[in-house]
Amino acid sequence: MKFATHRVAITGIGALSCVGHGKDGLWDGCTQGTPGVVRITRFDTGPFSCKIAGEIQDFNPSQWMDEKQEKRLDRFAQFSLATARMALIDSGLDLNRVDRERVGIYIGSALGGIAFAEEQHTAFLAHGIKAVRPTLAISVFGGASSCNIAMELGTFGPNVANANSCASGAIAIGEAARLIARGDADVVLAGGVECPLSQLAFGAFSLIRAMSTRNEDPATASRPFDQKRDGFVMAEGAGILVLEDLDLARKRGATIYAEVLGYGTTNDAYSMTSPRPDALQSSRCMHLAMRDAKCSPDEIGYISAHGSSTPLNDAGEAKAIQIAMGNHRPAVSSTKSSHAHALGAAGAMELALCAQTFHRKELPPSRNLFYKDDECDLDIVANNPRKAEVRRVLSNSFGFGGINACVVLGAV
């Protein structure tokens, strides 16, 4: 096994969210309080107790692909291609000037093309197999994202898709960083993509009462760490970063947002939906990421919390942070209060925000914190951005199945 010898830079950011697109749109949406959560228009919510979500209503695929591609690709693949191109443009990287065999694609998604599959199943039940689009078989698996990106960009390096629940995007970025650190790739486009807003997929989460029912006030429904939180708010979204060998990035004069310093992943091995009460594995995950980054808890200036706005998970994460940080109290916020919870894409979207904290010298807030929960005794950046110069940030992603992933970024 090769040991890590290469430093890893973040040189490009692409994002799609219900509060804004691109690195600036996502940042402004989270720091300026842009409303993103609305009553669902995509399908009939009549059977469900939850009727709100973070819909992306202004996505125009023709900005990012030709008409033939737009017709061929489902929304999941369209999001993937658009966000990858956005990140690549932002990075200024010319793929014609690099070895394409050393450019990889790592993408995570909890549900992949399930919304398109549901749509086609409806057509099948109504009109039979001849009504089903021939692209169904190659659209529903998670690899439809990473493979379509690779084909469009002409990259021949490692291509990996994962479906590790809400930790998918963070795991894709962490594993991609390890690939570059080992010297097995020069560039990797890595992140998460999620398009879960279909009636059956949405209904499945409503059925287990995991989502907020604050339908009359969608804008304040996602309220991480608030005493009156009542569940998460589902969203669609995407976040893809360009990760690059730091030395190569410097040689080409790239803008470097941050360095990926450390990554850790663990499993609670406890419940498919609830965190371990002792928080030992989620806190250990944070320790592993900090150990990999060769930094102490005292060096972490900001934690981007998973902060899903569910009663058990927020309290459990607060406990994990307290265990991992000891006497140190870094600033903490959950930006899901703005862009809601895009499942497997959430961790990547949050790392896209984390990477910007260094040059913006500001921390994005946890909005909708009206009644702070005593169980969540943290230094929360509440409701408004906080001016701060930090050198190390840690991002948490904790998902169904007890899958934990943490990534540490540093200023360069």
Catalytic residues, which ones?
A: 166, 306, 341
DSSP-derived pairing of the beta strands 392-399 and 302-304: parallel
Give the tokens for residue 188.
């990797």
Q: What are phi and psi of 245, to 5 degrees?
A: -55, 125
Residue 93 exposed, middle or buried by CB count within 10 Å (0-12, 13-18, 19+): buried
Count Cβ neighbours within 10 Å for each residue of 181-201 and write b for 16 or more, e otherwise: beeebbbbbbbbbbbbbbbeb
C-beta separation of 42 from 293 below 8 A: no
Tell me the angle at which helices 311-325 and 280-293 cross, rounded to the nearest 10 degrees.
50
In three-state form (DSSP H/G/I as H, E/B as E, the rest C), the secondary structure along 250-300 is HHCCCCCCEEEEEEEEEECCCCCCCCCCCCHHHHHHHHHHHHHHCCCHHHC
Give the tokens for residue 228.
């009156």
Terminal Cα-to-Cα distance of the chain (whole angstroms): 28
